[in-house]
Amino acid sequence: MSFASVEATSDYSLLIQQAQALFHGEQDAIANAANLSSLIYHGMADLNWAGFYFLKDGELVLGPFHGQPACVRIPLGKGVCGTAAATKTTQRIDDVDQFPGHIACDAASRSEVVVPLVRDGELLGVLDIDSPKLQRFTVAEQEALEQLAHLWLAASQ
């Protein structure tokens, strides 16, 4: 299966459509997370990591991703991922070095978006997208990533 890459300035509706196509008729949460990680990693310019952490026994545990090997466990409230999880709000960080407690899994990361995965008020995990460029993510891109996270939540059991 092949999906065209899109430029940083492109309309992200293509990514949304591709995610809908990948999830169609498939409810497996891990399979859909793996495909969404790949789709985002290859579909958005200037990323060095895209993937999932799932809430297990009160901490975030690494799930499917694309990029370098990453920290396996992140406590709630720690770093950008732990903050998104603890507050259930998306974190869009222009400069991760300015974020107190940022966890540098990959020293190349400079900016980051983390979307909490919340179903019926219950935290399931986070979708984490990292870039080696400062201020990589616009509000429109944050919203596109939130929409992709919601598609995963809606499709997966």
* Residues at the interface with ligand SME (CB under 6 A): 49, 70-71, 74, 79-81, 102-103, 105, 109, 112, 128, 130
123 near 87, Cβ under 8 Å?
Answer: no
**For ligand SME, the closer CB: 85 or 155:** 85
**For ligand SME, the closer CB: 15 or 128:** 128
> 85: Cβ–Cβ under 8 A, 6 or more apart, which residues?
53, 55, 60, 74, 76, 77, 116, 123, 125, 126
Q: How far is the CB of 52 from ligand SME (least distance, A)?
A: 10
Listed in order, strand segments (DSSP E) in the chain are: 49-56, 59-67, 73-75, 91-93, 111-119, 122-131
**For ligand SME, the closer CB: 49 or 152:** 49
Q: How far is the CB of 99 from ligand SME (least distance, A)?
A: 7
Q: How far is the CB of 75 from ligand SME (least distance, A)?
A: 10
Question: Which residues are paired to 128 by β-bridges?
Answer: 51, 114
User: What span, in angstroms and rounded, lies between the C-alpha atoms of 49 and 113?
Assistant: 11
**For ligand SME, the closer CB: 27 or 56:** 56
Tokens encoding 95? 């400069």
Q: How far is the CB of 96 from ligand SME (least distance, A)?
A: 6
Q: Nearest residue to ligand SME, using CB? A: 79
